[in-house]
Amino acid sequence: MDNKPTNYRQNRRKAERTQLLLVLLVLVVIGTGLIGLIWGLKSALLGGLCLVGGGGVIIGIWLLLTLIQKAVED
């Protein structure tokens, strides 16, 4: 039996990455799908591009906070 101690920081980082991916997936896929259902294909394509841009902003904020966290931990 492996008795290594639990690394809670590593578990938290993994959970944060998973949550980030789920948020981006819901934002882009579900958001684009809803736009397509309500306004049509052309609007869905344009809306999808805008939602991808919003996802990029979310990733940028996440990266900034991750870098700050690593700087504070050292």
Residue 3 banded pLDDT, cuts 50, 70, 90: confident
Residue 5 has pLDDT above 90, yes or no: no
pLDDT reported for residue 1: 60
Give the pTM: 0.83
What SS3 state is found at 74? coil
Residue 74 has pLDDT above 80, yes or no: no
pLDDT digits (tens, 9 = 90+) for 31-71: 999 999 999 999 999 999 999 999 999 999 999 999 999 99
Residue 4 has pLDDT above 90, yes or no: no
Q: Which of 25, 9, 24 is nearest to 66 (CA)?
A: 9
